Amino acid sequence: MTGLSPEISNYFDAFESAFNGLEAIAETEGDERRRSNLLYQAIEEPIIRLRHSFACWKLKCRFADQFSIDRSESGFPLFKNVLELEADMDRVKEHLLDLPTVEQTRIEMLELMLKFRQHPGDLQKVMARRLYYEALDQARAFTTFTKPTTLRVSVNPRSDRTYYVVTWSAYDGTENLPLVYVAVIEDSSEDAPKPRRNTPHGFPKGWIDEMAMNGLPNFSLRSQFKDFVAGHSAYSLSLTTIAKAIDETFPTLHPKQLRRFVLGPFYAGGLTDHNKKVQSVLDTVSAPSDNWLFTWTMQELHSKHEVRSKMGIWGSSPAREIYHVNTDDLDCVAQGVSALERYAMIPHTAYQSMYAKNLTDEIFNGHRCYIASGDHILKHV
């Protein structure tokens, strides 16, 4: 197998440690909470897909010429890498048919080395290519857009409307950041599906789970809703803008709550340069698995009340949501949200170095900080 450059290898080692830390955080929060909390369910699957993307990119770097990251802003791979991964996924079966199996390539490599005394560099790339497409074929990767999935169907006892908890994800092409959305949407359509008690996630009896969860449960709006959110998931759009757009485009859908998880930025010693003070600390930590800082944000918007629909001889108007933006918080005003929570995770070694420089309060101001040691979370700050 061909080797990776030290820089690329360090980058993937740092991200692998960060993913291990995220797993440890989930375990620290408790299995029961993860099962009952839809936010955990919504974010868990995209992180698994993102981790798989990094595993595939690492394999691809063994035979591809270039792999570019956003060094000055997000610290994540550039958007073009996601596009290329998506294109490779579309043709994965074709590539696997064209490539020899791993065992066939291994036999050729041994023959070349033992019989002809030659280094099997080209064959190593062939094997890496095969392993890459096998990995793509085994599990889903994080793509430019993942269509909505419904986590739960229920009824609001106050309005007697069916409501859905829906999630989708996107990789922002401008900011190079993975985004995960979770929405609570009431449906006042006459043909809105009615949930049943004692059924998984509230889906009506007789529904195939995959069909029910694979999109909006209201089949008449499913395709249009998917296309709409695909075009309205950019990081540049505030949650207020997105929620109002859904509210105006779909008269019978009423977004009551909208959350967005912004994964990143990611800081890696010797690789990124978008925060000088952070880099001054990370660059002093030699081990790639310990010289990183991963941050993420949860933005939240909720409706404070609904203006009911009006019908009259002079015209009519559909129901509209009035959203709460926290004007007491300048960050909430700037981002058009009701609330936001910032998180950071850093290895214990890097945290100690930051603490020694008396920079922890400055860098982690406004963040809930997780300190990771290997696969364990030592403490929360």
pLDDT in tens, 352-366: 999 999 999 999 999
Q: Report DSSP letters for 314-325, one per residue.
A: TEEE--EEEEE-
- pLDDT above 70: residue 103: yes
Structure tokens at 319: 């129901």
Pick 367 or 196 by higher pLDDT.
367
Q: What is the mean pLDDT of the chain?
A: 87
- pLDDT above 60: residue 194: yes
Pick 30 or 58 by higher pLDDT.
58
- pLDDT above 90: residue 71: yes
Q: b/e map of 114-132 (b: 16 or more CB within 10 Å)?
A: eeeeeebeebbbbbbbbbb
End-to-end CA distance of the chain: 42
Q: What pLDDT was estimated at residue 309? A: 64
Taking the C-alpha atoms of residue 79 and residue 73, their distance in angstroms, rounded to an integer, is: 13
- pLDDT above 60: residue 200: no
Share of residues in the chain with pLDDT > 70 (%): 86
Query: Which region, left, alpha or beta, applies to residue 75 given φ > 0 means left and ψ of -120 to 50 means alpha?
Result: left
- pLDDT above 80: residue 228: yes
Give all strands (DSSP E) within the chain, no chain letters: 145-156, 161-172, 177-187, 253-268, 292-307, 310-312, 315-317, 320-324, 339-347, 367-373, 376-380
Instruction: Please state the φ and ψ torsions of residue 207, each to the nearest 5 degrees.
Output: -75, 145
Pick 153 or 198 by higher pLDDT.
153
Q: What pLDDT was estimated at residue 197? A: 63
Q: Report DSSP letters for 97-124, one per residue.
A: HHSPPHHHHHHHHHHHHHHS----HHHH
- pLDDT above 80: residue 36: no
Q: What pLDDT was estimated at residue 378? A: 72
- When pLDDT is averaged across residues 288-316 and rounded to a whole number, the result is 83
Taking the C-alpha atoms of residue 148 and residue 165, their distance in angstroms, rounded to an integer, is: 10
- What does the pLDDT look like over 105-159, one tens digit per residue? 777 677 666 766 667 667 888 888 999 999 999 999 999 999 999 988 888 888 8
> Rounded to 5 degrees, what angle do the CA atoms 124, 129, 132 make?
125
Taking the C-alpha atoms of residue 190 and residue 193, their distance in angstroms, rounded to an integer, is: 9
pLDDT band of residue 1 (cuts 50, 70, 90) is: very low
**Residue 299's closest CA among 327, 255, 261?**
261
The type of residue at 187 is: D
Q: What is the torsion angle, in degrees rounded to the nearest 10, for the CA atoms of residue 232, residue 235, residue 241 and residue 244?
A: 50
Q: What pLDDT was estimated at residue 15? A: 95
- pLDDT above 90: residue 204: no
- pLDDT above 80: residue 213: no
Taking the C-alpha atoms of residue 294 and residue 11, their distance in angstroms, rounded to an integer, is: 13
- pLDDT above 90: residue 181: yes
Taking the C-alpha atoms of residue 22 and residue 93, their distance in angstroms, rounded to an integer, is: 32
pLDDT band of residue 183 (cuts 50, 70, 90) is: very high
- pLDDT above 80: residue 376: no
- pLDDT above 90: residue 101: no
Query: Is 323:295 a contact under the CB 8 Å cutoff?
Result: no
Q: 228 CB contacts (<8 Å, ≥6 apart)? A: 245, 246, 249, 250
Pick 185 or 284 by higher pLDDT.
185
Pick 380 or 167 by higher pLDDT.
167
Provide the greatest CA pair distance for the chain: 92
- pLDDT above 90: residue 316: no
Query: Is 320:255 a contact under the CB 8 Å cutoff?
Result: no
Can you give the pTM of this predicted structure? 0.91
- pLDDT above 60: residue 210: no
Q: What pLDDT was estimated at residue 105? A: 73
Q: What pLDDT was estimated at residue 311? A: 58
